[in-house]
Amino acid sequence: MGQATFADLEYVSKKRVTRREKFLARMDGLIPWERLERRLRPFYPKEGRGRRPYALSVMLRVHCVQLFYNLSDPGMEDLLYEVESVRRFVGLRLSGPLPDETTILKFRHLLERHGLGEALLGEINEHLASRGLRLREGTIVDASLIEAPSSTKNKAGRRDPEMRQTKKGNQWYFGMKAHIGVDARSGVVHSLCTTAANVSDVTAAHRLLHGAERRVWGDAGYQGVGKRPENDGGAVDWRVALKPGKRRALAPDSAAAACERARASVRAKVEHPFLYLKRRFGYAKVRYRGLAKNRQRIALLLGFANLMIGERHLALA
């Protein structure tokens, strides 16, 4: 780390712990760093001729902070220069070299090129399973729209060709959908797929199952899912909500209405990962063009969400 500077000594002697410091300390304790680094190490450049690469542990932490605060590559570089708590989290000093935006970009491209966002989500889930948070017999499926810029004021003069337009209620949206499968007991995300916004939820349902489910819950958008060819003949009990019109027609004190309320209480868990994704980590609008890049970012963000959800069930070190 090198010799302490006057700025370091002033930081240590400050009297108040900020919310950013508390959050970074929380995530530092939750994320299984050694496990994630081990998964990335075969893909990370080795030391050789030319410029010496930053340590993998440093670049992984820089990338995580970038995702925590939904920053661009230049924005992440600026944060490293401006905020001492972030430098301490990633293991750097202002008196030493700091990664520039090109270095940050190249590391992100490395993860995208090898699909490592999804791989890290799998590693996080295996870490949680090793602590006792295992997948049970039920899955909840749902999808959420993530908007994309609809402007054509860019170099290509057109919108992202992989994004599409869809209508929800009386409002039109342009973008993509993130489809997730969530464990019905813990609320942990175990499956993810991404599609254009105009793809029906029901067509992606079979891609969200881990294979050991006995029951699957879904909202009214999954009506008819059990009759589709890819799901026909399976041993899964599809517990899909009634359409709003039929649900409103039920007598409030009827057994059918009580059943719908019970199903809704189970389905509520699937909203929690989207809450973390869009509100805590600010990913309500895509940052990149194309589905693949956004899928890798979403996968790792859902991994962070799983750790924060699992924190309520496990005593993580």
- What average pLDDT does this structure show over 52-60? 91
Burial of 188 (0-12, 13-18, 19+ CB in 10 A): buried
Beta strands 138-147 and 215-218 are parallel
Q: In 3D, which of 174, 223, 183 has the Cα closest to residue 200?
A: 223
Q: Is the pLDDT of residue 1 over 70?
A: no
Residue position matching structure tokens 């999804």: 118
Q: What pLDDT, on a 0 to 100 scale, did the predictor assign at position 316?
A: 44
**Structure confidence at residue 58 (pLDDT):** 97
Assign 143 to helix, strand or coil. Answer: strand
d(C-alpha 301, C-alpha 260), whole Å: 31
d(CA 110, CA 114): 6
HSE, side-chain direction, 13 A CA sphere, residue 145: 18
**Mean per-residue pLDDT, 107-111:** 96
Q: Give rounded-to-5 percent helix, strand, coil for the chain.
A: 50, 15, 40
In the chain, the amino acid numbered 183 is D
Phi, psi angle pair for 2, to nearest 5°: 90, 180
Residue spans of the domains in the chain: they are 6-114, 135-310
Count CB atoms within 10 A of the CB of residue 228: 13
* pLDDT value, residue 10: 65
C-alpha–C-alpha distance, residues 227 and 221, integer Å = 14
In tens, the pLDDT along 252-306 reads: 899 999 999 999 999 999 999 999 999 999 999 999 999 999 999 999 999 999 9
Q: How does pLDDT run across 130-160, given as a tens digit for each residue?
A: 988 877 779 999 999 999 998 887 777 889 9
Instruction: Give the global pTM.
Output: 0.92
> Do the Cβ atoms of 164 and 198 come closer than 8 Å?
yes
**Residue 4 pLDDT:** 59
Q: Which residues contact 183 (CB under 8 A, 6 or more apart)?
A: 135, 136, 138, 139, 140, 190
* pLDDT, tens digit (0-9, with 9 covering 90-100), for 75-84: 999 999 999 9
Chain-centre distance of CA 172, in angstroms?
A: 24
Count how many Cα atoms sit within 13 Å of the Cα of residue 281 in the half-sphere of its side chain: 26
Q: Which residue has the tokens 């293991």?
A: 91
Per DSSP, the residues of 47-60 read S-SSSPPPPHHHHH
Q: Read off the pLDDT band of 310 (50, 70, 90).
A: very high
H or E segment to which residue 222 belongs:
none
In 3D space, the residue among 160, 158, 157, 207 whose CA is nearest the CA of residue 180 turns out to be: 207
Which residues does 170 contact at the CB level (< 8 Å), separation at least 6? none
Measured CA to CA, the distance from residue 97 to residue 46 in angstroms comes to 19
CB of 88 closer than 8 Å to CB of 266 = no
The contacts of residue 103 (CB under 8 Å, 6+ apart) are 54, 59
